[in-house]
Structure 1
Amino acid sequence: MGVWFKILRGVFRLQRAFFACQKLVISLTALLIVVVGYGLLSIKTSNDPFLLFGPGNTYRQKLERQNEAFGETNQTLMLLAVKSREDRPLLLKAERALFYILDNADSEFAITDMTSFTSVSSLLPAMGYPIEMTPLTDVEILLDERAALGDVFFNDAHTATIISIKLDVSDQSDSGLQQAYGDQKALADHMRAEFPEVDVAFTGSVSMGEALRDGLTFDRKYLFPMTLVVNFIMLLIAFRNLRITITALGIGLSSVVLTTGLAGWSGHVFATAAVSSFSIIMTLTVASLIHIIHSIGQRQRTLRFQKRDALIQASFRKLAIPVILAHATTAVGFLSLNWADAPAFQAMGNLVAIGLVFSLILVLFVAPVVLSFGCGDMQVRDEKMRNLSRVFTKAWAKGPIMWGVIVGLASMVAVVGLVRTTFDDQFIRFFPAEHPLRQNIQTIADNMGWSQTVDLVLRYDEGMLLSPEGFQQLEDLTNQILALPQVVDIRGPLPIVQNCLDHRSPPYTGTLADVPEKMLNFCVRSNFYVTEDFGNATFAADFRELRMSLLVKRQSSAHVRELAETVEAIAAEAGFTGDRSAVSGVNVMSSYLSMVNTKSMLVGTGFAMIVVSILIGIFLRSLPLALLSIFPNFMPAMASLGLWVWINGEVGMAASIISALTFGIVVDDTIHILYALNRGRRKQTNRGVQRVLQNVFPGVLTTTATLGFGFALLMFSGFAVNQQLGFLTAATIFIAFLFDLFVLPGLYIIFIGRNRKH
């Protein structure tokens, strides 16, 4: 342990050196915050869904391979609908007007990122009906005569039509997403103004990304500042000293500014949803300062003769070990995110771990200087928190084993709920029912009977796709998939090809298996424009891959996963084995988000558990304490997650990272309690442990109230992921408090305290 003591001695010397140059330290710290924090203005964020899936992820690879063959499959679906079939002429007029806008790149309402679009008007020229020579009355006749044309673009009642707009949104930043969404919204608003009797709705990857960005922006603007207000109020109540409260929050905010600034200077692209998690650094910084400030208050009462600066330096030296240990263990928790499948989580974990270095430096070396320089006589008036602490510790002392058993059993009951876990990342449920995204999707579902698409890609040997046998096999497979209850319809080449065969002179009346190959090739190539270099949304350029869209009702992620596996199994039975068939698409990939990351994080959590226990054993020089820390450190997060499952039944993206996000808060209080118990080596009786708890528990109480109620505000978010994150984090903090009060001391007495001599 000689090396460890040398490190501590070096830390104490640096603290004294910093304390001796207060003005210089404050000036250099302010300069560092300005220089590093300037990078905050250039932090790069992206709403690219691929950031949530690693390069080796099976579902990402399926979608990337699909994009290589058919181009980017991002699309926007725009619905036009009227009240009755008698209004179909108006519907066709609106569709024709929309066609002219989309077909004209110089139009005021053109969509910048559009690569192609498909509608009934866009298909007419391929069928031999030029737009300029085909009035809407003729289109009505065609719709009545050619059922396939109506099946592809209209609902059964012919009161609604879908226009599919294919996009290549290269700029996935917030500004790029706003621009792309703005183009689509302007077009929809224009159509509503021109055709007030026609319902217009649109949805797609851009709409969903913009809804996510907007929800997170709202929380950053309003809820996170409200969290600071709650923290301010709780700290002011705890310390009853405005200067100390402002100083603690200021140092916490400085750690966030430095970390976020470092993110900006790094040039790394972070997922928009992950950036707000950097604020977890503030929670640990403030939590460490809370314990130190309460320690200063205790010394003020017991050592009244000691001067202010001596009190400050002594308190920081006393708690240097638990502060360093808490930062180290929290860094381990965030580094465990490298086991997550999502690159966004990995980048967030690594940066926060680096940011904890800023936090540790600020707490150990800058905070003492700022408290001395800017807090006057430094009076900590925490009597109310200490009185409340005595109430809790007296309650524990009346039945230490009984309380431990009750809390432990209750937590086990909560954890049992995890066996009922269902992972659901159904995107639209992230938003309230009145959100425009959900309203648009519901409008499409009401009119078309479906609101979600799943892609099926089939791969053929050379020459097999455009053969009678290939199309007969495709027809048989399509009929099998259509028989599934989840599938409303399938958008593929069969209806259009069959329509072509039906309207030849003379019409072809045989089966697809017997159709002449030249006739089949003509019907495919005349209706689906393909060159040697470029394919389209249905056929790859070499005609060795085919893409169909399964139109399904809105359903949970679990049902999407089940559907994907069922369709691939049906395709395998039809002869498309291995990678010759793949169900893919953003909807499919997203449905596996939480499940894949949660499973991969099990290894990371196990690694963190082992490393943290080793660190606690080394820092506190006690193997029993290292083993003792495992249960109260990891049980609260599992119990809160189980409680959520009992209440809600389903978990989403927040569940996969909750252990890492809450790890620092839970470990921080546990470490301070174990450190205090370990210092009082002869305090092995119930009464002795109670006295130790009374000294350390004001900090635990303040930390729990400040951070617990602060995170609970997220439950008022309009974004379901943050609601879930707020509940899980707040519940974890409050359950950890119960463990620290009622379980940890009892375990200490049973396994460690009574083995020591008086």
Structure 2
Amino acid sequence: MNAFKRAGNATNVFARSWANFVIKYKWPVLLATLILAIGLGSQGNMEFDGDYHVFFSKSNPELEAFDALQDKYTKDDNVIIVLSPSNGNIFTKENLTAIEELTAESWNTPYSSRVDAVTNFQHTSAVGDDLYVDDLSYNSSLKTDAEILEIKEKALKEPLLVNRILNEKGSVTAINITVRLPGIDLNEIPGEVTPFVRNMISDFKEKYPNFEVYTSGLIPMNTAFFESSMNDMGLTMIMLIIVIITTFILTRNIWSTLATLIVVLLSIMSAIGFVGLMGIKLTPPSSVFPTMILTLAVADSIHILVTMLQKMRKDGLNKVDALKEAMRLNFMPVFITSLTTVIGFLTMNFGDVPPFWDLGNITAFGMGMAFLYSTTALPALMAILPVKSKVKKEETKVRKDWYASLGNYVIKQPVRLTIISVLVIGGLTFLATKNTFNDEFVNYFDETVAFRTDTDYIRDNLTGIYNIEYSIGSGESGGINNPEYLKGLNAFEDWLNEQPEVIHVNAFSEVARRVNRSMHGDNESYYRVPDNRDEAAQYLLLYELSLPFGLDLNNQINVDKSETRVTVTVDNITSADMIAFSKKGEDWLRHNTPEAMHAIGVSPTLMFSKLGFRQAESMLTGNIIALILISLVLMLALKNFKLGLLSIIPNVTPVLVGFGIWALYKAQINTGMVIVFGMTLGIIVDDTVHFMSKFLRARRELGYDAKQAVVYAFETVGKALVTTTIVLLAGFAVLSTSSFALNSYMARITVIIILAALIIDFILLPSLLILTSKKEVVTVKNIEATQVAFDK
């Protein structure tokens, strides 16, 4: 106990001395903090990176496999333009002419390397021994109705078109633009490709208003990521307004509102400087850091300001004395809250998603600076500003009675409330296990984003938006012409087409069958892979020589013709089903083909599908470390091992409750929600620290029994906890409106967790404190013992 008293007195002495120093040298302190913030802010250089690759670490095995596949063939960054004519028939002279024009213009897209459309599809035919490869439809405006009908019949029988470029009814078609980005400038997509495509589509719709146009593909997805980052940065302004209004309503003081606003702006400015100094490129997850810092920094300021104004209104202290007392009472609790929040956000570095590393590091730095400014700039400002407050004893008494009534209600039935709480928490914890991972990248965006709605339309009316790719090797140069290889590839294609999830398969075996048939006078009996290797090689050479520039087979065959690419388009399935399907394809190859043909499934779709599972596994260690560190901090801060362990309950159970309620709401969690445990663990400690510190003060210093101490804690800290909770709820509620699901879902469940934390700290925590304190002997301390840490 003597050690505790010495530590507590030392803390109070430091806090009191710090407050005296800041108030005495208020102008130099304020000037120094402004110089620091401006100096850091001047280094700010916020760049936005919308490339989906940023979601994967360099060591991510799925990314490595996908990049290796693209190195063998061609990179398939693409824009899919889907056209739906009002008459529901692609095959009219006018519509085919419009498609031809848009296809021709699409070649002008910056960095375009290939354009595939129904009109320029390379249709094969033979006359005698001669192979002819021509556009399926050219000069469409000159075609007769009979010729248009013939084109339609050919197109609807073509496996490489149907459910890929053309739907089965012939009412919707696509133009696929493949681009090869140099990857030198971050502006290649948002500044060059996307504006060109949008202008091209706008001009097309103006000329042909009978077409509805939809866009999807990896380029529009990257654009959506970029624009989501910019939009989420805009949420900061909304939150600033809410902070101003909320702070003013809760403090009823214009000067405290102004001081709070300055503190959070300095914190955000410093964080922006950190972004520039560290060379961080912002992404949708990390771009919300201003809202995060703003929300959490306000909580620091609110504790100090509410206490100061209470001392002025309730106790009649003058501004300087009230400010010193507020600093003394709140310095250590605010420090612990900031420290645990920093620990929570830093645990994001244990994950496998780099944008969340950035979010964690930026927010952790910002929170560290928020603590600094809350204990320097804030008191300096309040000492300078003409703050006045009238004593309102009657109103204070009414408010005190409300919290005291809640405390009295709890102390009358701690056993009952504990049992009810345990049952409710247990039930919701069980429900939490019913949540499933589902990281479909299209669902990262809500229906307000054009990429999402356009992609949903394409999925429903033309083709699937998810795919898996296999690079099937032959084991030798030129081996793709080996009849045994072709038969194995053909069998794999057939097996894939039999799977219920599969919408379309694009494999070289289809090209081999089609050319073989054409080389035998379009005899349908020859619609099979060649039986002779030399013939297969000759047919392939002849076919390739007939293909025009930009429409060759480089996207399907590697340079030495030892491997071919199989692209499987699948229906809208969950992440778990996507992973299972990919594994099923790998197993089929392993059991039915030679070792050289064994391959693993890769694609951005599969990468995102595995991202949530990989993030969860990697974050497990981080969450455990966060729990241990934060628990140790609380044990040291409370100077009580038992209460330190007890504090784990109100800090962990809100997360379990939150995910249990989420199971009733969505029952699916994404990558963004995996970080919630570590992040909120640091945030919700605020409630526990302040309530327990008040409880301990009443027990150790005032000689109260456990029930009296609980009521005392409600009376003294209840308003501050409700106030900070309202601010936190407001901040994350704003973030929950983000159109980017990784951010909005994370914010929504955080809102639930923060609200659950307050309820648990008002119901379960005091009940447990009473039940675990029954046998403790309480001794009354002298007046000097009131100078301890967390005295509030």
Q: 1:514 Cα deviation (Å)?
A: 5.3
Which of 738, 758, 775 is the equivalent residue of 1:737? 758
Cα deviations by residue, 1:37-68 (Å, 9 ceiling, x for unpaired): 2344x212212222222223232222222222
Cα deviations by residue, 1:554-589 (Å, 9 ceiling, x for unpaired): 333333233222222222222376994122211221
In 2, distance between residues paired with 1:546 and 1:756? 79
Q: 1:123 Cα deviation (Å)?
A: 4.7
Q: Aligned to 2:704, what secondary structure does the other structure show?
A: coil
8 Å CA contact 1:43–1:265 kept in 2: the answer is no
Q: 1:711 Cα deviation (Å)?
A: 2.2
Q: Map 1:362-373 to 2 at 5 A.
A: 362-373=373-384
Q: Aligned to 1:455, what secondary structure does the other structure show?
A: strand
8 Å CA contact 1:325–1:615 kept in 2: the answer is yes
Q: Aligned to 1:158, what secondary structure does the other structure show?
A: coil
Cα distance change on mapping 1:380 and 1:244 into 2, 3 Å: farther
Q: 1:694 Cα deviation (Å)?
A: 1.1
8 Å CA contact 1:292–1:319 kept in 2: the answer is yes
Q: Map 1:530-541 to 2 at 5 A.
A: 536-541=554-559
8 Å CA contact 1:174–1:213 kept in 2: the answer is no
- Return 5+ residue gaps in structure 1 as ranges: 104-109
Q: Aligned to 1:598, what secondary structure does the other structure show?
A: helix
Q: 1:486 Cα deviation (Å)?
A: 0.8
Q: Which amino acid aligns with 1:662?
A: T
Cα deviations by residue, 1:612-665 (Å, 9 ceiling, x for unpaired): 111112233221122111111122122112211122221223311112332332
Q: Work out the number of aligned pairs and report it.
A: 747
Which of 421, 427, 445 is the equivalent residue of 2:459? 445
Cα distance change on mapping 1:351 and 1:587 into 2, 3 Å: same
In 2, distance between residues paired with 1:255 and 1:166? 44
Cα distance change on mapping 1:408 and 1:329 into 2, 3 Å: same
Q: Map 1:618-637 to 2 at 5 A.
A: 618-637=636-655
Which of 496, 502, 521 is the equivalent residue of 2:537? 521
Q: 1:315 Cα deviation (Å)?
A: 2.1
In 2, distance between residues paired with 1:317 and 1:300? 15
Q: 1:10 Cα deviation (Å)?
A: 5.7
8 Å CA contact 1:528–1:536 kept in 2: the answer is no
2:78 matched to which residue of 1?
Answer: 75
Q: Map 1:351-362 to 2 at 5 A.
A: 351-362=362-373
Q: Aligned to 1:192, what secondary structure does the other structure show?
A: helix
1:184 matched to which residue of 2?
Answer: 197
Q: Map 1:557-572 to 2 at 5 A.
A: 557-572=575-590
Q: 1:515 Cα deviation (Å)?
A: 2.1
Cα deviations by residue, 1:178-228 (Å, 9 ceiling, x for unpaired): 54322222222233233333443221122223334434544443x443333
8 Å CA contact 1:337–1:345 kept in 2: the answer is yes
2:508 matched to which residue of 1?
Answer: 493
1:90 matched to which residue of 2?
Answer: 94
Query: Structure 1 residue 233 and structure 2 residue 224: aligned?
Result: no
Cα distance change on mapping 1:39 and 1:276 into 2, 3 Å: farther
2:716 matched to which residue of 1?
Answer: 695
Q: Map 1:458-497 to 2 at 5 A.
A: 458-463=472-477, 464-497=479-512
Cα distance change on mapping 1:158 and 1:267 into 2, 3 Å: same
In 2, distance between residues paired with 1:573 and 1:535? 28
Moved more, 696-705 or 122-131: 122-131
Which of 103, 116, 119 is the equivalent residue of 2:117? 119
8 Å CA contact 2:516–2:530 kept in 1: the answer is no
Cα distance change on mapping 1:120 and 1:647 into 2, 3 Å: closer
Cα deviations by residue, 1:361-396 (Å, 9 ceiling, x for unpaired): 112222211111124236687836545433432332
Q: 1:263 Cα deviation (Å)?
A: 0.8
Q: Map 1:232-271 to 2 at 5 A.
A: 232-271=244-283
Cα distance change on mapping 1:89 and 1:511 into 2, 3 Å: closer
2:49 matched to which residue of 1?
Answer: 46
Moved more, 686-695 or 521-530: 521-530
8 Å CA contact 2:30–2:376 kept in 1: the answer is no
Query: Structure 1 residue 285 and structure 2 residue 297: aligned?
Result: yes
Cα distance change on mapping 1:671 and 1:525 into 2, 3 Å: farther
Q: Aligned to 1:737, what secondary structure does the other structure show?
A: helix
Cα deviations by residue, 1:77-117 (Å, 9 ceiling, x for unpaired): 222344455834334323322332234xxxxxx21132322
Query: Structure 1 residue 407 and structure 2 residue 421: aligned?
Result: yes
Q: Which amino acid aligns with 1:90?
A: E
8 Å CA contact 1:712–1:730 kept in 2: the answer is yes
8 Å CA contact 2:79–2:217 kept in 1: the answer is yes
8 Å CA contact 1:708–1:733 kept in 2: the answer is yes
Q: 1:444 Cα deviation (Å)?
A: 2.5
2:285 matched to which residue of 1?
Answer: 273
Q: Which amino acid aligns with 1:20?
A: K
Cα distance change on mapping 1:746 and 1:551 into 2, 3 Å: same
Moved more, 166-175 or 627-636: 166-175
Q: 1:31 Cα deviation (Å)?
A: 2.5
Cα distance change on mapping 1:567 and 1:243 into 2, 3 Å: same
Cα distance change on mapping 1:34 and 1:711 into 2, 3 Å: same
In 1, distance between residues paired with 2:188 and 2:389? 46
In 1, distance between residues paired with 2:358 and 2:454? 34
Which of 605, 610, 619 is the equivalent residue of 2:628? 610
Q: Map 1:539-550 to 2 at 5 A.
A: 539-550=557-568
Cα deviations by residue, 1:258-305 (Å, 9 ceiling, x for unpaired): 11222123222232331213432333322122222232244335653x
Cα distance change on mapping 1:647 and 1:380 into 2, 3 Å: farther
8 Å CA contact 2:340–2:682 kept in 1: the answer is yes
Q: Aligned to 1:410, what secondary structure does the other structure show?
A: helix
Query: Structure 1 residue 390 and structure 2 residue 401: aligned?
Result: no
Q: 1:325 Cα deviation (Å)?
A: 1.3
In 2, distance between residues paired with 1:297 and 1:578? 76
1:107 matched to which residue of 2?
Answer: none
- Return 5+ residue gaps in structure 2 as ranges: 125-130, 780-792
Q: Which amino acid aligns with 2:592?
A: A
Q: Aligned to 2:675, what secondary structure does the other structure show?
A: helix
Which of 221, 235, 238 is the equivalent residue of 1:208? 221
Which of 524, 540, 551 is the equivalent residue of 2:569? 551
Q: 1:135 Cα deviation (Å)?
A: 4.3
Cα distance change on mapping 1:65 and 1:350 into 2, 3 Å: same
Q: 1:677 Cα deviation (Å)?
A: 2.2
Q: 1:6 Cα deviation (Å)?
A: 6.9
Q: 1:479 Cα deviation (Å)?
A: 0.7
1:66 matched to which residue of 2?
Answer: 69
Q: Which amino acid aligns with 2:169?
A: A
In 2, distance between residues paired with 1:569 and 1:379? 77
Q: Aligned to 1:425, what secondary structure does the other structure show?
A: coil
8 Å CA contact 1:666–1:733 kept in 2: the answer is yes
Q: Which amino acid aligns with 2:203?
A: H
Query: Structure 1 residue 598 and structure 2 residue 613: aligned?
Result: no
Q: Map 1:711-730 to 2 at 5 A.
A: 711-730=732-751
Moved more, 716-725 or 582-591: 716-725
Root mean square deviation, CA, Å: 3.2
In 2, distance between residues paired with 1:630 and 1:736? 12
Q: Which amino acid aligns with 1:360?
A: F
2:349 matched to which residue of 1?
Answer: 338
Which of 760, 764, 771 is the equivalent residue of 1:750? 771
Q: 1:513 Cα deviation (Å)?
A: 6.3
8 Å CA contact 1:278–1:348 kept in 2: the answer is no
Q: Aligned to 1:90, what secondary structure does the other structure show?
A: helix
Moved more, 612-621 or 718-727: 718-727
8 Å CA contact 1:294–1:699 kept in 2: the answer is yes
Q: Which amino acid aligns with 2:666?
A: N
In 2, distance between residues paired with 1:162 and 1:457? 25
Moved more, 560-569 or 623-632: 560-569
8 Å CA contact 2:119–2:136 kept in 1: the answer is no
Cα distance change on mapping 1:467 and 1:142 into 2, 3 Å: farther
In 1, distance between residues paired with 2:607 and 2:134? 39
Q: 1:142 Cα deviation (Å)?
A: 6.2
Q: 1:235 Cα deviation (Å)?
A: 2.4
